[in-house]
Amino acid sequence: MNKLLIALTAALVTLAGCSTPPTNAQIGTATGAVIGGAAGSALGGGTLGTVGGAAAGAVIGNEIGKRQDQRR
């Protein structure tokens, strides 16, 4: 879990350094990955649960963000 948290924090810091603001799809992907990883770790436990939850959360968050971007 600590390694995942470090990797996600590094990814968010990297995104924060971009010259243009992130799209809703990018924000949704990052947010979904964090929430999904935490949920997968709590429910399934272990590495597989954490990674699976993060992957599922990233996909769902990306889709929600894309829909918000299309409305603009």
What is the dihedral sign for C-alpha 65, 67, 70, 71?
A: negative
The pTM of this model reads 0.70
SS3 67: helix
Q: pLDDT tens-digit profile of 10-67?
A: 777 776 666 678 889 999 999 999 999 999 989 877 888 889 999 999 999 999 999 9
Give the domain ranges of the chain: 2-8+23-71
Q: Please state, in angstroms and rounded to a whole number, the distance separating the CA atoms of residues 22 and 59.
A: 17
**H-state helical runs in the chain:** 2-16, 24-43, 46-71
